[in-house]
Amino acid sequence: MTSTADYTEKIPNNVSLHEDRRLQRALESWQPNFLTWWQTMGPTLPTQDVYLRTAVNVGREGWAQFGHVPMPEYRWGIFLAERDPGRRVGFGEHKGEPVWAKVPGEYRSELQRLIVIQGDTEPASVEQQRNLGATAPSLYDLRNLFQVNVEEGRHLWAMVYLLHAYFGREGREEAEELLHRNSGSEDSPRILGAFNEETPDWLSFFMFTYFTDRDGKYQLGTLKESAFDPLSRTCEFMLKEEAHHMMVGTTGIDRVVQRTVEVMHEHDTDDVAGLGAIPLSVIQKYLNFHYSVSLDLFGGETSTNVANYYTAGLKGRWLEDRRKDDHQLTSDSIMVDSLSEDGKIGQTEVSALVGLNTDLRREYISDCQSGVKRWNRILDEAGLTQRLKLPHIAFNRKVGAFAGIEASPDGEQLHAQEWQRRSRDWLPTDVDKTYVRSLMQPVHERGKIAAWIAPPRNGINGQPFDYDYVHLI
Ligand SMILES: [Fe+2]
Ligand SMILES: [Fe+2]
């Protein structure tokens, strides 16, 4: 197999799709449904073309090309990282055995479920972000939004390929369902809570790409370890694209904080609402919200399902091969968050296998810290004493040990009444949201930018900020 994509095919791919006519036909019949979904549920802002990155190769160098592309003609394709013929299972009871090129019968339904859950998040985020183009702060940001959108569309393709290629009729039905469920829908919502929340403004978008896309990065990281080799190779390549989404979130919040700091200095006040910038307190509230709903995505502190996935080799840990243990964990333990018998926030010891969700969530949390550090550096360099911070793990949780209690961002346990009274200081209120939305006036002029956000330090692919990233209609 070569790593170069075949672009002569209707569906660009590096999996020699033409050698399997049945599969090719099945995917070609799914393709028009995907395009209908893109047209009806994808970006609403009409555009002529967008300066987009398209994956053309999975190799280390030169894996993508850049150019102006009409979005409906984007070449969504199927790309798997190159196969390592010597790859062996890295963990669990099959550790050391050759990886699987096919789905073992006994793990079929579990693998299908994992792929469906991952697959469901990809189109969900496109749906959540569909109206943002109308209020983009610059053509540069507009282009980044669309880049994220087309790549999430490609990630859907990646999961649909696996379903079609390895899971027979049931897989094909699941692939259809991925287009039928919709974010926020009453009748058939997306599977996970955070993917049914709105992304109504660009501050939410940057928080989403920072916190929620980062959850995706960690989920993909565990699936990249899978003994089911096609899943592993698919996720490895998706992670490469995902890095850009993280960059959009990280630098997006950088730029919001930067601009706020400038306006605070200019007017010598913290109260920049009304001055066209977003107050630090509002940024903190948005951060609190997006971080806490993203923590929920990792599931309960303990899970026997996840323990079984690990033992079976379906889903590993983040950076499994860097862990210095036996990669089987049958006799290890871990402290996980829990409520004590008298209902207090605490920790309890469980077997390491059962606590794998906690392990992954902790990896994620320490990664999230790096962004906060970087935004605080901007505040520090501006000579300000205010700081942003991640709220306590028990804050605003709907899943896991702390779902039934209320806690402040500092981890102080609160009675329901007190929470009612004080939560408006910690989560975006209608007033905050209305204010942020009022700032979302589109700037679609080349080289211009909205007043609530600083321009980026660098453009895309070496192009300047004032490049014509998007041609509108
Ligand atoms: Fe994705
Ligand atoms: Fe993403």
pLDDT tens for each residue of 446-470: 999 999 999 999 999 999 999 999 9
Ligand nearest to the CA of 152: 1
pLDDT of res. 1: 44
Query: Per residue in 19-68, pLDDT tens?
Result: 999 999 999 999 999 999 999 999 999 999 999 999 887 776 678 899 99
- The stretch 158-182 carries a mean pLDDT of 97
Question: Residue 263 region, left (φ>0) first, then alpha (ψ -120 to 50), else beta?
Answer: alpha
Question: What percent of the chain is modeled with pLDDT above 90?
Answer: 95
Ligand nearest to the CA of 244: 2
- How far does the centroid of ligand 2 lie from the alpha carbon of residue 241, in Å? 8
- How far does the centroid of ligand 1 lie from the alpha carbon of residue 44, in Å? 20
AA identity, residue 235: C
pLDDT of res. 57: 78
What's the chain's average pLDDT? 96
- How far does the centroid of ligand 1 lie from the alpha carbon of residue 193, in Å? 16
pLDDT of res. 56: 83
Write down the H helix ranges in 297-441.
Answer: 304-312, 356-381, 416-422, 430-439
Query: Per residue in 199-250, pLDDT tens?
Result: 999 999 999 999 999 999 999 999 999 999 999 999 999 999 999 999 999 9
**Rounded-to-integer distance, Cα 466 and Cα 473, Å:** 18
- How far does the centroid of ligand 2 lie from the alpha carbon of residue 431, in Å? 29
pLDDT of res. 278: 98
Write down the H helix ranges in 129-211.
Answer: 139-166, 168-180, 202-207
pLDDT at 7 exceeding the cut of 70:
no
Query: Per residue in 247-298, pLDDT tens?
Result: 999 999 999 999 999 999 999 999 999 899 999 999 999 999 999 999 999 9
Quote the distance between the C-alpha of residue 346 and its chain's center. Answer: 29
pLDDT of res. 2: 47
pLDDT of res. 9: 79
DSSP string computed for 380-416: HHTT------PPPTTTT--SSTTTTSEE-TT--EE-H
pLDDT at 5 exceeding the cut of 70:
no
21 and 9 Cβ atoms separated by less than 8 Å: no
- How far does the centroid of ligand 1 lie from the alpha carbon of residue 182, in Å? 16
Name the residues around ion ligand 1, CB cutoff 5 A: 122, 152, 155
- How far does the centroid of ligand 1 lie from the alpha carbon of residue 73, in Å? 19
Per-position b or e across 319-344, b if 16+ CB within 10 A of its CB: ebeeeeeebebeeeebebbbbeeeee
Q: Which pTM value belongs to this model?
A: 0.96
Q: Which element (helix H / strand E) includes 52? A: strand 47-55
- How far does the centroid of ligand 1 lie from the alpha carbon of residue 238, in Å? 7
Distances (CA, A) of 251 to 47, 194, 248, 418: 25, 22, 6, 35
pLDDT of res. 193: 87
- How far does the centroid of ligand 2 lie from the alpha carbon of residue 60, in Å? 20
pLDDT of res. 81: 93
Token representation of residue 461: 């692919």
- How far does the centroid of ligand 2 lie from the alpha carbon of residue 64, in Å? 16
- Give the contacts of 228 (CB within 8 A, at least 6 positions apart): 99, 100, 103, 107, 111, 314
pLDDT of res. 181: 97
